[in-house]
Amino acid sequence: MPKLRVHGFSISLDGYGAGPDQSLQNPLGVGGMGLHEWAFATRTFRKMFGQEGGSTGVDDEFATRGFENIGAWILGRNMFAPSRGDWPDDGWKGWWGDNPPYHCPVFVLTHYPRPSIAMEGGTIFHFVTDGIHVAFERATEAANGRDIRVGGGVSTIRQYLELGLIDEMHFAISPVLLGTGEHLFTRLDLAKLGYRRSEHASTPNALHIVLTKQPA
């Protein structure tokens, strides 16, 4: 049965999944890029952006698993653009250039309608104004039997998590402190929601934790 998954989502030691004040200069908020140092050097990450080389090992294995059997993605608006309110007429098509690393349909949650955008490599951004359930339904249909990955950000993951809809989550806890920003687990009782640690591994760059939803 297809799963709704979170993979490679980095959080700080103090539980923040993004820094404050997201902008064009700071796509993940101030200090947020430091959460992802574990991924940047991996072979998987470098390959996504047309680069050669990169590290192998545990960090790379977790990065690779995040793309296996994924047929569609769900993103919050902040993961697509730094703008707020009505979409500006600026030609913005995401943070990733002409060939984003998704290569399948991506459903972006927003309050403001916008026509779909087809990109190189098979990525198509669809903009969903009807909420998380409609985005999930559309992503499930588009995935055609494969899994759906919730790419973030914090608010989007929390909305699905609060309803217990996520089947599996991989978090990379990075050895940095942000002190402020967007906190992932505030007022969430993961144990009560049915999640249990199913896997963990540590590297010099991150502590990798996999949480799996237990059958009711």
| Mean pLDDT to the nearest integer, 132-146 | 97
Phi, psi of 63 (to 5 degrees): -65, -40
Longest dimension (CA), the chain: 47
Supply the mean pLDDT for the chain. Answer: 94
pLDDT at 43: 94
Amino acid at 68: E
Q: What are the pLDDT digits (tens) for 20-38?
A: 888 888 888 889 889 999 9
Q: Do the beta carbons of residue 75 and residue 148 sit within 8 Å?
A: no
High-pLDDT (> 70) share of the chain, %? 100
In a domain, 94, yes or no: no
Q: Do the beta carbons of residue 197 and residue 35 sit within 8 Å?
A: no
In a domain, 93, yes or no: no
Q: Do the beta carbons of residue 50 and residue 81 sit within 8 Å?
A: no
4 - beta bridge partners?
A: 148
pLDDT(115) > 90: yes
In a domain, 198, yes or no: yes
- Spatial distance between the Cα atoms of 193 and 66, rounded to a whole number of angstroms: 23
Q: What are the pLDDT digits (tens) for 35-54?
A: 999 999 999 998 887 788 99
* 53: containing domain: 4-17+26-82+99-213
Of 67, 61, 66, 71, residue with least CA distance to 2: 71
Burial, 41: exposed, middle or buried (Cβ in 10 Å; 0-12, 13-18, 19+)?
A: middle
In a domain, 35, yes or no: yes
In a domain, 92, yes or no: no
pLDDT at 22: 81
In a domain, 88, yes or no: no
CB atoms within 10 A of CB 142: 18
Total domains in the fold of the chain: 1
Q: What are the pLDDT digits (tens) for 43-100?
A: 999 888 778 899 999 999 999 999 999 999 999 999 999 888 999 998 899 998 899 9
Q: Do the strands 147-152 and 4-11 form a parallel or antiparallel pair, or are they unpaired?
A: parallel
In a domain, 91, yes or no: no
Of 152, 164, 162, residue with least CA distance to 214: 164
CATH number for the domain that contains residue 59: 3.40.430.10
- DSSP symbol at 185: S
The order of strands in the sheet holding 147-152 is 117-118, 124-128, 105-109, 70-76, 147-152, 4-11, 168-173, 207-213, 195-202
pLDDT at 48: 82
In a domain, 194, yes or no: yes
pLDDT(141) > 90: yes
Enter the pTM of the model: 0.94
**SS3 for 110-135, per residue?**
CCCCCCCEECHHHCEEEEECCCHHHH
